[in-house]
Each structure stands twice: as structure tokens, then as C-alpha cells.
Amino acid sequence: MTAAAGYDVIVLGAGASGLMCAAAAGARGRRVLVLEGSPKPGNKILVSGGGRCNFSNVNAGPEHFISANPHFCKSALSRFSSHEICALLDRHHVRWHEEDGGRLFCRDGSKKMLDALLAECREAGVVIRTDAGIREIGAGFRVAAECGEFHAPSLVIATGGRSWPQIGASGFGYDVARQFGLKVISPRPALVPLVFDAAGRRAFGGLAGLSVRVRVSCGDAVFEDDMLFTHRGLSGPAVLQISSYWREGEPVAVDLLPQMRLDEAFPVWKKDHPRTELKNLVGRHVPRRLAHCFLEGLPPVNQMGEGELKKISERFHNWKIVPAGTEGFEKAEVTRGGVDTTELSSRTFEARKVPGLFFIGEVLDVTGWLGGFNLHWAWASGRCCGQCC
């Protein structure tokens, strides 16, 4: 039997947060080992933003994150702004640009981001082992992996959430938290398409492929952006955003025409276009297929009573659907829930009850909105932890 190799810090997971943390710890002179279960590091960075890597957002404040403990993210976000990650990219001559909503993208694709992080790790002397297949974590932190046995006084769990299991995501980080007696808030798919029930699919399946500007709400959460009809339900940025707030059985309300009010337009149309069918009048403001699907068979506007028009306006501006569910972790961009942040220091990310054990990134119960916030959280939590672990 060979003796376990010793390091100062072992990081589990060579994803966004793990690589950032390893580089920061290595830069402090710590001997750092990163163990990655997949054959290659940074899979999720590579697929992010459809390969364009929406790596941060200039508005990355706490109001763009969801957590049972909304104060937790404040400390790291105040210490790590989007300037820090842009500066890292500049150091490695990676070109980036800003798009609407403050979203920051790599100009030449996600691989440039991963290359920059791997270069940071190399410069800091970090050792990365892939295909590591963790078998067991013991006291003192002894880690038994497929590629050998290792130990370190600091163990950082950066294994991400459960979304996209097809590229290596697992519930492993939650198992580690439970093993050490820490609470886990039930993980759920977030930033995920919603699906109709059978009746909804029959009624609206024909609209698949149609994109509409909408205002969508669920409880107190409201987003105005594009919504996409799919064969199974609804997607697009507005729906992905609201999915992070939706719970089974709750209705989602959609304003299909947020830029105007139909109840204000009806009297004008009655006067100016009395013999035009309503679907054609509304079809001037929304895609025709949508207007026809909702208003097929209705008579010209001058033949319709006030009450009927009021109902139509309500249906368009407050279309209520109760989704049958979501497309699940396979299609979810992130995982909501995770390791309960009340168990951790918001400054160091160390578990209060287990000195030396740290959790960072998406494995935590901190979920960002769409728009670069989730990768920003991975960098911010990774850098802050790497300065302490």
C-alpha cells in the first residue's frame, strides 16, 4: 500500500468555482490538489452561454440571487466585482464585451475562459487530476479516489449542482454535506423550461417555435423578456427566470402584450376598424399565429360587447397557466437549493461545525438569475474561499 499524498488544500471539482479557488490558494503559496471526476476540467464553463460564456454581469449585486438566507452572498459579492474577472481575462489577453442587461461575454468563446483559469492554476503550481472518481472522504480529510489517496487539512467542495448530469453533474456535494452533519435545502431544477399538461400541449403545441415579448410573474417575482413556445411547454429567458421562483401547483401569469393595453385599444378599434376581425387587429401587435390561436372564430370588433372584450383583454394580459412540471435537471441551467448557507461563514465559506471543510459555487443554496450571475457567484465564492482555505 502506498502512503497518501499530502497537500495543504484539496479541492473537489475542477469547475468554475473550484479552479478559481485553487488558483487563489496556490497564489498564496498553498500546495493545492484539484480532483475532478470527469475526464476533462471545466465542462460547464465550455457549454456556458451556448459556447459564448456569459461569464459575469456588471450589475452582479445580491438582488440578483435567490437563497433562503439572502444576506449570505453579500460579503463575497462586495469583495469580488465583475472588474476582477475582467482583469483576470485581460491578464491572459482574452477579449470580452458587454451586451444588454450588463451581460459580459468572451468574444472568442468559452474555451478562452477555461484556458485563462487553467493558466492561472498552472502559474500558481496547482496540481489537477482528472478521472478522479472520489470513493470516500475520511476524517482529517483523507480522500480516497480512483487515482490514489490524498490528504489535506483543508477540503473544498466545489462539485456544483445537479443540473446537466450528462456532463458530470452529481449530487455528490450534498452527500458530503450530510456526511458531516450539515443541512441541505432540497435541490430543485432552476432556469429550466416549464411543461404544459396534456390539454395545454393540445391547445398550444401548434405555437412551437414562436417567440413573444412578455411580462411573466409568479408570486412577487416579475420578469419582462422573450418567451418561447416549445412542443412541450414554455421556454425563453422570461420563463427560465420565473421557473426559479415557481413551485409545483402554482399558477404562472403571462401578459402576452405588455407594451399596450387591449382594453384601451378596443374603443379606438371599434371606431376606426369596426368590421375588422379581432384576431387581425391584435395580430398587428403580436405574432399572427398567437393572435389566431387565442382569438380564432371571434366576430368583427363592432359585433362584440363590452363584457366579452373585457374577458379577452384579461386573457391576453393575464393568461394563467399551471405548468405540469419542469424539463428537470437534464435541461436546467442551474440547481436551486443546496447546502444551507447558515451552516457556513459568509467570509471564508468554512463550515462552522467542521473546521477545514469549505463549500463554494452552485453546491450552495445561492442561485443567480439568468445573465452571467451564476458564473459570477462561482468566481466570487471561489476567490474569497481561496484567500482563506
Contacts with ligand FAD, residue ranges (CB under 6 A): 12-18, 35-38, 43-44, 47-49, 53-54, 132, 134, 158-160, 163-164, 168-170, 172, 333-334, 361-363, 372-375, 378
Measured from the Cβ of residue 268, the count of other Cβ atoms closer than 10 Å reads 11
User: What is the smallest separation between the CB atom of 158 and ligand FAD, expressed in angstroms?
Assistant: 5
Q: Judge whether 126 and 41 are in contact, CB under 8 Å.
A: no
Rounded to 5 degrees, φ, ψ at 65 are -125, 145
14 or 257: whose CB is closer to ligand FAD?
14
User: What is the smallest separation between the CB atom of 266 and ligand FAD, expressed in angstroms?
Assistant: 42
Q: With residue 203 as reference, give the H or E element that holds it.
A: helix 198-204
User: What is the smallest separation between the CB atom of 48 and ligand FAD, expressed in angstroms?
Assistant: 3
User: What is the smallest separation between the CB atom of 378 and ligand FAD, expressed in angstroms?
Assistant: 4
User: What is the smallest separation between the CB atom of 113 and ligand FAD, expressed in angstroms?
Assistant: 10
Pairwise CA distance, residues 330 & 327, whole Å: 7
Residue nearest to ligand FAD (CB): 15
User: What is the smallest separation between the CB atom of 66 and ligand FAD, expressed in angstroms?
Assistant: 13
185 or 375: whose CB is closer to ligand FAD?
375
109 or 125: whose CB is closer to ligand FAD?
109
351 or 363: whose CB is closer to ligand FAD?
363
142 or 273: whose CB is closer to ligand FAD?
142
Which candidate, 23, 84, 125, places its Cα nearest to that of 382?
A: 23
Amino acid at 4: A
Strands 334-339 and 32-35, how do they pair?
unpaired
SS3 state of residue 91: helix
Measured from the Cβ of residue 260, the count of other Cβ atoms closer than 10 Å reads 11
Which candidate, 166, 123, 131, 167, places its Cα nearest to that of 147?
A: 131
116 or 169: whose CB is closer to ligand FAD?
169
